[in-house]
Structure 1
Amino acid sequence: MRCIPPEPDFAEGQLAEKAVWVALKASLPDDVVLAHSVQARHGRAEHEIDILVLWPGVGMAAIEVKGGLVTNEHGQWFQSGGKDGKHRLQDPLAQSQGSMHAFKEWITDQTGSKMTSRFAYLAAFPYSAVPQDWVKSGNPRTIILDHADCKNPAEKIRHAIETEGGGTVPLAPSYLERIIPWLEGNLEQSQGSAAGYAEEEHQQDHLTERQAVLITATRSLPRIRFTGGAGSGKTWLAVEKARELCKSGKRVGLFCYNKGLGLYLSNQVAHWRSARPAFTGEFHEYVLSLGVPAGIGQDYFDIEMPRMLKELATALPADEKFDAIIVDEAQDFAPEWWDALRECLRHPDSSEIYAFMDDGQDVYKRWDSAMALKDLVPIHIDDNLRNTKKIAETFKSFAGEKFTPRGSTGLAVRRVECSPEDAMDVASDCVDALINDGWANNQIALLTTNSRHPIHLGYFQDNTIDEYWREFHANEGEFYGHVLGFKGLERSVVILCVNGFKEMESAAERLYVGLSRARTLLVVVGDSEQLREAGGNQLGLALSRAQKWDPTAR
Structure 2
Amino acid sequence: MEWAASADTIGVMTGPTLLPPDPNFAHASEETVWRALVDQVPEHWTIIAGQHLADGEREYEIDLLVLIPDHAIVSLEVKGGSVWVEDGQWRQASREGDLVIDPVRQAEVGKYAARRYVEGDPRWSRGRVHWSQGVVLASSAVAQDFSLPDLPRRLVHGRDDIDALAGRLADAARANVDGHRAPTQEDCDLVAEILRGRALPLRDVVAMAAERDESTTRLTAEQAMLLKVTRLLNRVEVRGGAGSGKTMLALTQARVLARGADGRPRQRVALLCNSIGLASYFKRELAGERYNRRPALVGTFEELAAHLGVTEFGTRQDTDFWEVELPRRMGELAAELPDGKKFDAIIVDEAQDFADSWWVPLLRSLVDEETGGLHVYSDENQRVFPRFGRPPVQLVPLVLDHNLRNTQQIADVFSPLAPMRMRAMGGDGPEVTFVPTPAGEDPVDAADSCVDELLDEGWRPEDVARRASGTRCRSTCRRAKGRRGTGTPSGTRSPSSTGTFSGARGSSGARSCCASTTPAPTTGRRRSSTSGCRGRPTGSVVGNPELITAMGGPDVARRLRIG
TM-score if structure 1 supplies the norm length?
A: 0.81
1:88 is displaced (CA, Å) by 4.1
**1:359-383 residue CA offsets vs partner (Å, 9 max, x unmatched):** 32123242264x8675224031413
Contact persistence 2:435–2:542 (CA under 8 A)? yes
Q: SS at the partner of 1:9?
A: coil
1:281 is displaced (CA, Å) by 0.4
Counterpart of 1:211 in structure 2 is 219
**1:339-364 residue CA offsets vs partner (Å, 9 max, x unmatched):** 54234333334333322333321232
Contact persistence 2:436–2:542 (CA under 8 A)? yes
Is 1:2 the counterpart of 2:16? The answer is yes
Is 1:136 the counterpart of 2:148? The answer is yes
**1:61-99 residue CA offsets vs partner (Å, 9 max, x unmatched):** 2101234544444334444457x534443x211221222
Aligned length: 527
Counterpart of 1:35 in structure 2 is 48
Match among 402, 406, 411 for residue 382 of structure 1: 402
Are residues 489 and 26 of structure 1, via their aligned partners in 2, closer, same or farther at CA, if it must alter by over 3 Å?
Answer: same
CA distance in 2, matches of 1:171, 1:295: 78
**1:8-40 residue CA offsets vs partner (Å, 9 max, x unmatched):** 3315x3443223212222333444321123355
Is 1:353 the counterpart of 2:374? The answer is yes
CA distance in 1, matches of 2:527, 2:554: 16
Match among 206, 227, 246 for residue 234 of structure 1: 246
Are residues 116 and 527 of structure 1, via their aligned partners in 2, closer, same or farther at CA, if it must alter by over 3 Å?
Answer: closer
Match among 424, 448, 460 for residue 468 of structure 2: 448
CA distance in 1, matches of 2:171, 2:393: 88
Counterpart of 2:108 in structure 1 is 97
Q: SS at the partner of 1:160?
A: helix
Q: SS at the partner of 1:35?
A: strand
CA distance in 2, matches of 1:68, 1:482: 72
Counterpart of 1:200 in structure 2 is 208
Q: SS at the partner of 2:507?
A: coil
CA distance in 2, matches of 1:319, 1:105: 70
Match among 246, 249, 270 for residue 287 of structure 2: 270
CA distance in 1, matches of 2:133, 2:480: 72
CA distance in 2, matches of 1:436, 1:207: 26
Match among 13, 25, 35 for residue 38 of structure 2: 25
1:327 is displaced (CA, Å) by 1.3
Of 229-238 and 301-310, the range deviating more from structure 2 = 301-310
Is 1:533 the counterpart of 2:550? The answer is yes
Are residues 121 and 354 of structure 1, via their aligned partners in 2, closer, same or farther at CA, if it must alter by over 3 Å?
Answer: same
Q: SS at the partner of 2:395?
A: coil
1:309 is displaced (CA, Å) by 3.8
List gaps (5 residues or longer) in structure 1. 547-554
Match among 287, 305, 310 for residue 287 of structure 1: 305
Are residues 326 and 111 of structure 1, via their aligned partners in 2, closer, same or farther at CA, if it must alter by over 3 Å?
Answer: same
Matched to 1:25, the amino acid is: V
Q: SS at the partner of 1:253?
A: strand
Match among 504, 515, 518 for residue 499 of structure 1: 518
Aligned pairs for 1:339-350 within 5 A: 339-350=360-371
Contact persistence 2:517–2:543 (CA under 8 A)? yes
1:492 is displaced (CA, Å) by 3.5
Contact persistence 1:122–1:144 (CA under 8 A)? yes
Matched to 2:106, the amino acid is: Q
1:246 is displaced (CA, Å) by 0.9
Aligned pairs for 1:222-261 within 5 A: 222=233, 223-248=235-260, 249-261=266-278
Identity of aligned residues (%): 27
Matched to 2:294, the amino acid is: R
Counterpart of 2:136 in structure 1 is 124
Of 428-437 and 237-246, the range deviating more from structure 2 = 428-437
Matched to 1:346, the amino acid is: V
Contact persistence 2:239–2:397 (CA under 8 A)? no
CA distance in 1, matches of 2:491, 2:401: 29
Is 1:524 the counterpart of 2:525? The answer is no
CA distance in 2, matches of 1:169, 1:316: 89
CA distance in 2, matches of 1:261, 1:420: 34
1:286 is displaced (CA, Å) by 0.6
CA distance in 1, matches of 2:90, 2:240: 68
Of 520-529 and 130-139, the range deviating more from structure 2 = 130-139
Contact persistence 1:261–1:486 (CA under 8 A)? no
Is 1:413 the counterpart of 2:433? The answer is yes
CA distance in 1, matches of 2:224, 2:460: 38
Are residues 488 and 43 of structure 1, via their aligned partners in 2, closer, same or farther at CA, if it must alter by over 3 Å?
Answer: closer
**1:197-230 residue CA offsets vs partner (Å, 9 max, x unmatched):** 0122212222123216555433243244333332
Match among 496, 501, 525 for residue 483 of structure 1: 501
Q: SS at the partner of 1:544?
A: coil
Contact persistence 2:72–2:183 (CA under 8 A)? yes
1:397 is displaced (CA, Å) by 1.7
**1:31-52 residue CA offsets vs partner (Å, 9 max, x unmatched):** 4321123355789665442211
Are residues 433 and 60 of structure 1, via their aligned partners in 2, closer, same or farther at CA, if it must alter by over 3 Å?
Answer: closer
Of 242-251 and 156-165, the range deviating more from structure 2 = 156-165
Aligned pairs for 1:33-112 within 5 A: 33-39=46-52, 47-56=60-69, 58-81=71-94, 84-89=96-101, 91-108=102-119, 110-112=123-125
CA distance in 1, matches of 2:187, 2:525: 64
**1:384-420 residue CA offsets vs partner (Å, 9 max, x unmatched):** 33x3444333322223322315233136525141446
1:280 is displaced (CA, Å) by 0.8
TM-score if structure 2 supplies the norm length?
A: 0.80
CA distance in 2, matches of 1:290, 1:40: 66
Question: Aligned-pair RMSD on alpha carbons?
Answer: 3.8
CA distance in 2, matches of 1:43, 1:311: 73
Contact persistence 1:389–1:410 (CA under 8 A)? no
Match among 384, 388, 398 for residue 363 of structure 1: 384
Contact persistence 1:212–1:237 (CA under 8 A)? no
Are residues 475 and 500 of structure 1, via their aligned partners in 2, closer, same or farther at CA, if it must alter by over 3 Å?
Answer: farther
Counterpart of 2:263 in structure 1 is none
1:510 is displaced (CA, Å) by 1.2
1:257 is displaced (CA, Å) by 0.7
CA distance in 1, matches of 2:313, 2:146: 101
Contact persistence 2:204–2:458 (CA under 8 A)? no
Contact persistence 2:74–2:134 (CA under 8 A)? yes
List gaps (5 residues or longer) in structure 2. 1-14, 261-265
Aligned pairs for 1:321-332 within 5 A: 321-332=342-353
Match among 502, 524, 527 for residue 510 of structure 1: 527
CA distance in 1, matches of 2:445, 2:367: 53
Contact persistence 1:453–1:480 (CA under 8 A)? no
Contact persistence 1:420–1:526 (CA under 8 A)? no
Counterpart of 2:327 in structure 1 is 306
